[in-house]
């Protein structure tokens, strides 16, 4: 409780900060608190955004003032450990064709072979620390330090939709084409924003992604299959 | 019903935006100038939740293909009905065969058109606001039809002249300081609140400012955090950027503060070259001033 800070983001949002450095533990606290908060169904809460170390609560300032919201949040944090922090989250299996335009360079810089890069990127559930930058862009963490590589010095003007990139020991996916500076190692054929669905996104912060490699034929067949649904399993997460 | 003859620089459908999907990285979007848009809806007796048309800068020609009530508010983009000046901030009835043109900004940057019952257009994640990057609708193109849900206003209302804003080329907005304020040099913070900035460029995503470069005490790495409409980011080279309605939901640049919601419309209507001044506006003190009952819980 001592290390938790409250800070305003303008006049309609409050940031609850659980620490300054990125770690799986700090982000776990962030995700647990976001889940707990959403379960309260407080009418003055408009939206709750989890980032690496913070939970940002957007509130209706005509219903509740900044100090009132802050005190409600403080009270909830004080009793947080009385709640069962176990929560159901999803593990989404995403196919990737590892043919990225930066794969060669990542291999040179990290000293890993392409096969090793694929090995370190796949077949394990990695946590989504946050979603941001673009609609549905996940910041996935927990990869080996061996995959650590800095952001591109100069961002590309256009990174194609579906591109899977890495920076440091994190991975991200571009659900739409956009300028960007991630090192692209592959492409997923899965359409990550489904406009025809009520819930167009497969995942949110706190969920997990498991990448698995596919070859060009599998990539094409998934791409052409409008009915393709990635495998999703529900797992229990928490302390 | 209206037909688009020329969509100008940017003409889109916007409503109150997507406020509940920021955790999926979906920008808020929505009208840039909430006050003007709300007035446009109010004049026709619409709910303020209804979508309106947002015109940026002008260059727009619309033909009326079916008689309809209409209201036009916001910045004065030099609008005409046929050969006559288009009256703003009141309910009008336009007739089939009329031509509406918006030639370009006289004051302000953005004009709003409301139609009775709201605009018919597809809704994505509970909002009709166009955000093309994610495929949420499209900006108007030549030949598109713009349909209102009705053709006559439910209740025609009027707005008192004193409630109509004046759009100037120099505005002051209040800023709630960010927790990164102390990472900037004192001299830079002082400059930020004492001297003005010039608008270099602006779109629906952000507004680039030109002026004194803000310097930081030391370079610290910042992990991405949530941002909102009005957050002022300061990239390494020191020129502030104000994030606007279509901005990304998170950012990794240090911020100096966030513009007060009530003042955002002033920025939305400020043209390139316009002057912007900031007033420091810490939130806590204000709330104590407004209501002494907050003192006890604000220790």
Query: Quick check: B288 pLDDT over 70?
Result: no
Inter-chain residue contact A200 with B125, CB threshold 8 Å = yes
Domain end (from A31, A58, A84): A84
Query: Quick check: B295 pLDDT over 50?
Result: no
A195 and A221 part of one domain? yes
A201 and A155 part of one domain? yes
pLDDT at A2: 56
Chain A nearest CA to B148, separation (Å) = 24
Inter-chain residue contact A10 with B287, CB threshold 8 Å = no
Domain end (from A19, A50, A84): A84
- The pairing of strands B79-81 and B99-102 is antiparallel
Distance CA A76, CA A1 (A): 11
**Residue B134 banded pLDDT, cuts 50, 70, 90:** very high
**Residue B64 banded pLDDT, cuts 50, 70, 90:** very high
Token representation of residue B220: 């610290």
**Residue B291 banded pLDDT, cuts 50, 70, 90:** very low
Lowest mean pLDDT among A71-85, B44-58, B192-206, B234-248: A71-85
Residue range B198-222: mean pLDDT, rounded: 92
A232 and A120 part of one domain? yes
CA dist list (Å): A69 to A37, A156, B289, B294, B297: 12, 41, 18, 12, 11
Reading across the β-sheet that carries B145-146, which strands appear in turn? Answer: B84-85, B79-81, B99-102, B60-64, B2-7, B145-146
A92 and A70 part of one domain? no
According to DSSP H, which parts of chain B are helical? 34-43, 186-194, 264-268, 283-290
Q: Which residue of A13, A131, A133 is in closest CB contact with B23? A: A131
Local structure of residue B155 (DSSP, 8 states):
S
Is residue A181 less than 8 Å (CB to CB) from chain B?
Answer: no
Q: Which residue of B179, B250, B294 is in closest CB contact with A130? A: B250
A150 and A65 part of one domain? no
Query: Quick check: B197 pLDDT over 80?
Result: yes
A70 and A168 part of one domain? no
Q: Residue A96 contacts by C-beta under 8 Å, 6 or more apart in sequence? A: A121, A122, A164, A186, A187, A188, A211, A212, A213, A214
Is residue A64 less than 8 Å (CB to CB) from chain B?
Answer: no
Is residue B135 less than 8 Å (CB to CB) from chain A?
Answer: yes
Tell me if B205 sits within 8 A of B243, measured CB to CB: yes
Share above pLDDT 90 across residues of chain B, in percent, rounded to a whole number: 90
Token representation of residue B164: 């109509």
pLDDT at B298: 30
A140 and A191 part of one domain? yes
Token representation of residue A182: 């991630």
Nearest CA in chain B to A46: B20
pLDDT at B30: 98
Mutate to test the interface with B, among A10, A60, A194 (most CBs of B within 10 A): A10
Residue A141 belongs to domain with CATH number: 2.40.100.10
Query: Quick check: B95 pLDDT over 80?
Result: yes
* Closest by CA position to A30, among listed A93, A85, A105, A104: A85
Inter-chain residue contact B25 with A132, CB threshold 8 Å = yes
Domain end (from A26, A49, A84): A84
According to DSSP H, which parts of B1-66 are helical? 34-43
* Closest by CA position to A105, among listed A179, A186, A183, A181: A183
pLDDT at A184: 98
- Domain limits for position A62: 5-84
Query: Quick check: B289 pLDDT over 60?
Result: no
pLDDT at A238: 66
Distance CA A136, CA B248 (A): 11
For chain A, the distance separating the N- and C-terminal CA atoms, rounded to the nearest angstrom, is 17
Q: What is the CATH number of domain B170-290?
A: 2.40.100.10
Distance CA A16, CA B194 (A): 30
Q: What is the ipTM of this complex?
A: 0.92
Nearest CA in chain B to A129: B224
Residue A39 belongs to domain with CATH number: 3.30.1360.40
CA dist list (Å): B154 to A164, B45, B94, B150, B157: 51, 5, 16, 9, 9
pTM: 0.92
Window 210-239 of A: residues touching B by CB (8 A cutoff) are: none
* Closest by CA position to A176, among listed B122, B25, B257: B25
* Residue segments in chain A with a per-residue pLDDT below the cut of 70: 1-2, 85, 238-239
Inter-chain residue contact B261 with A66, CB threshold 8 Å = no
Convert the pLDDT of each residue in A61-86 to its tens digit: 998 999 999 999 999 999 887 777 67
Exposure string for A116-149, b = 16+ CB within 10 A, e = fewer? ebbebbbeebbbbbbbbbbbbbbbbbbbeeebeb
User: Which residue has better confidence, B64 or B252?
Assistant: B64
Residue range B147-172: mean pLDDT, rounded: 94
pLDDT at A82: 78
Is residue A139 less than 8 Å (CB to CB) from chain B?
Answer: yes
**Residue B292 banded pLDDT, cuts 50, 70, 90:** very low
Mutate to test the interface with B, among A21, A37, A51, A150 (most CBs of B within 10 A): A51
- Where in chain B are all domains bearing CATH 2.40.100.10? 170-290
Tell me if A8 sits within 8 A of B282, measured CB to CB: no
- Helices A103-110 and A114-121: angle between axes, nearest 10 degrees: 90
pLDDT at B109: 97
pLDDT at B299: 26
Is residue B136 less than 8 Å (CB to CB) from chain A?
Answer: yes
Convert the pLDDT of each residue in A110-133 to its tens digit: 999 999 999 999 989 999 999 999
Convert the pLDDT of each residue in B267-282 to its tens digit: 999 999 999 999 999 9
Local structure of residue B261 (DSSP, 8 states):
G
* Collapsed DSSP state (helix, strand, coil) of residue B94: strand
Q: How many structural domains is chain A composed of?
A: 2
Distance CA A82, CA B3 (A): 60
Total residue length of chain A: 239
pLDDT at B156: 85
| Dihedral sign computed on CA atoms, order A140, A146, A147, A153 | positive
Distance CA A105, CA A107 (A): 5
pLDDT at B284: 67
**Residue B286 banded pLDDT, cuts 50, 70, 90:** very low
């Amino acid at each position: 409780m001592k290390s938790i800070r409250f800070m305003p983001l303008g006049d309609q949002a409050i940031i609850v900060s659980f620490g300054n450095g990125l770690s799986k533990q700090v982000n776990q606290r962030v995700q647990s608190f976001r889940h707990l908060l959403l379960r309260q169904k407080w009418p003055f809460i408009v939206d709750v955004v989890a980032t690496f170390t913070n939970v940002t609560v957007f509130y209706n300032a005509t219903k509740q003032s900044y100090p009132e919201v802050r005190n409600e949040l403080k009270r909830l944090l004080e009793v947080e450990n009385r709640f069962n922090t176990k929560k159901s989250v999803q593990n989404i299996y995403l196919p990737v064709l590892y043919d990225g335009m930066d794969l060669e360079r990542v291999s040179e810089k990290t000293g890993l072979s392409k096969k090793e890069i694929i090995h370190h990127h796949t077949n394990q559930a990695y946590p989504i620390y946050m979603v941001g930058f673009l609609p549905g862009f996940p910041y996935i963490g927990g990869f080996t330090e061996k995959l650590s590589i800095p952001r591109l010095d100069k961002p590309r003007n256009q990174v194609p939709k579906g591109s899977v990139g890495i920076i440091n020991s994190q991975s991200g996916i571009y659900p739409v084409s956009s300028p960007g500076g991630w090192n692209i190692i592959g492409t997923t054929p899965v359409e990550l924003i489904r406009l025809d669905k009520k819930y167009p996104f497969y995942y949110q912060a706190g969920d997990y992604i498991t990448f698995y490699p596919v070859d060009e034929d599998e990539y094409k067949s998934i791409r052409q299959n409008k009915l393709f649904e990635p495998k999703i399993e529900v797992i229990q997460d928490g302390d | 019903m209206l037909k688009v003859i020329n969509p100008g620089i940017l003409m889109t459908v916007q409503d109150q935006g997507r406020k509940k999907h920021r955790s999926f990285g979906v920008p808020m979007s929505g009208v840039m100038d909430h006050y003007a848009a709300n007035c446009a809806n109010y004049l026709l007796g619409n709910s303020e939740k209804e979508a309106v048309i947002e015109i940026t800068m002008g260059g727009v020609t619309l033909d009326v293909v079916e008689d309809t009530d209409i209201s036009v508010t916001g910045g004065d983009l030099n609008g005409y009905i046929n050969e006559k000046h288009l009256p703003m901030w009141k309910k009008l009835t336009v007739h089939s065969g009329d031509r509406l043109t918006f030639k370009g900004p006289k004051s302000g940057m953005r004009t709003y058109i409301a139609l009775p019952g709201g605009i018919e257009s597809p809704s994505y994640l509970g909002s009709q606001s166009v955000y093309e990057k994610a495929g949420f609708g499209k900006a108007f193109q030549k030949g598109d039809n713009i349909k209102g849900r009705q053709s006559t206003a439910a209740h025609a209302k009027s707005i008192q002249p004193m409630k109509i804003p004046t759009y100037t080329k120099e505005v002051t907005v209040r800023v709630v300081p960010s927790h990164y304020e102390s990472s900037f040099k004192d001299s830079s913070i002082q400059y930020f609140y004492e001297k003005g900035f010039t608008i270099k460029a602006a779109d629906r995503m952000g507004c680039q400012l030109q002026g004194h470069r803000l310097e930081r005490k030391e370079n610290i790495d910042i992990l991405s955090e949530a941002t909102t409409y009005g957050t002022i980011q300061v990239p390494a080279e020191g020129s502030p950027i104000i994030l606007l309605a279509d901005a990304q939901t998170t950012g990794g640049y240090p911020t100096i503060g966030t513009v007060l919601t009530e003042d955002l419309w002033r920025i939305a209507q400020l043209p390139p070259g316009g002057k912007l001044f900031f007033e420091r506006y810490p939130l806590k003190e204000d709330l104590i001033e407004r209501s002494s009952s907050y003192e006890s819980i604000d220790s």
